Amino acid sequence: MKKIHEKLMQSMMERKKSLIDMESSRSLEKMTETELSRGDAMDVAGMNSEKEMNIAMRLRSSQEIKLIDKAVEKMRRGIYSICEKCEEPIEAKRLKAKPYVQYCLTCQEELEKSED
Ligand SMILES: [Zn+2]
């Protein structure tokens, strides 16, 4: 494995760990908050949007964990840092910012455009 990949792998593992830690601390916090704000209509309203946000955040972090797993798997198979769409190498700058990106900048932009 390339040295740079080893570094990225390490940072992804750390990121994954902190995502998992966040998950568990969040669910604990949530329980206490729910206990405290029970019965107050205003609080319940606020809690709902907060709950939705919490779910969205959870979804995002579980997606991130999946992407990290995928990237680690690609490293093992020796196809890491290759764009999944055009199969060109992904820009090193992109990988440094987000080691688990799946596409090069060009493909990412195209995907985002087609999502609109
Ligand atoms: Zn591409």
pLDDT of residue 71: 96
Compute the distance from residue 93 Cα to the ligand 1 centre, in Å: 14
pLDDT of residue 4: 85
Q: Is the pLDDT of residue 34 over 70?
A: no
Question: Residue 106 corresponds to which tokens in the numbers above?
Answer: 């060009």
Compute the distance from residue 16 Cα to the ligand 1 centre, in Å: 25
Tell me which residue of 5, 10, 3 sits closest to 82, measured CA to CA. Answer: 5
Q: Is the pLDDT of residue 31 over 80?
A: no
Q: Is the pLDDT of residue 15 over 90?
A: yes
pLDDT of residue 40: 55
Compute the distance from residue 105 Cα to the ligand 1 centre, in Å: 7
Compute the distance from residue 110 Cα to the ligand 1 centre, in Å: 9
Tell me which residue of 89, 32, 55 sits closest to 106, measured CA to CA. Answer: 89
Q: Is the pLDDT of residue 3 over 60?
A: yes
Compute the distance from residue 7 Cα to the ligand 1 centre, in Å: 23
Taking residues 35-41, what's their average pLDDT? 57
Compute the distance from residue 83 Cα to the ligand 1 centre, in Å: 5
61-68 contact pairs (CB < 8 A, 24+): 61/19, 61/22, 61/23, 62/23, 64/15, 64/19, 64/100, 65/16, 65/19, 65/20, 67/100, 67/102, 68/12, 68/13, 68/15, 68/16, 68/99, 68/100
Compute the distance from residue 91 Cα to the ligand 1 centre, in Å: 10
Share of the chain above pLDDT 70, in %: 80
pLDDT of residue 63: 93
Q: What are the start-end ranges of the H helices in 1-116?
A: 3-37, 41-77, 92-97, 105-115
